[in-house]
Amino acid sequence: MVIKFEVIDKTNRKLRMTDYNWHHIIRRHPEIASHQEKIIESLEKPNKITDL
């Protein structure tokens, strides 16, 4: 398993995106492929958390 990126969210959980998961997401949503940094930022600093 190759880790594409790893972040710690606001609730102090470690989130890992594997290459496999990233490619699965990009296959269905190719429009976000060039926005990896924004995705990381959103995971680290979300505007709103609705459920823990």
What are the tens digits of pLDDT across the range 3-44? 999 999 998 999 999 999 999 999 999 999 999 999 999 999
Contact assessment for residue 15 and residue 6, using Cβ atoms and an 8 Å cutoff: yes
CA angle 32, 34, 40 (to 5 degrees): 75
pTM as predicted? 0.81
End-to-end CA, the chain: 27
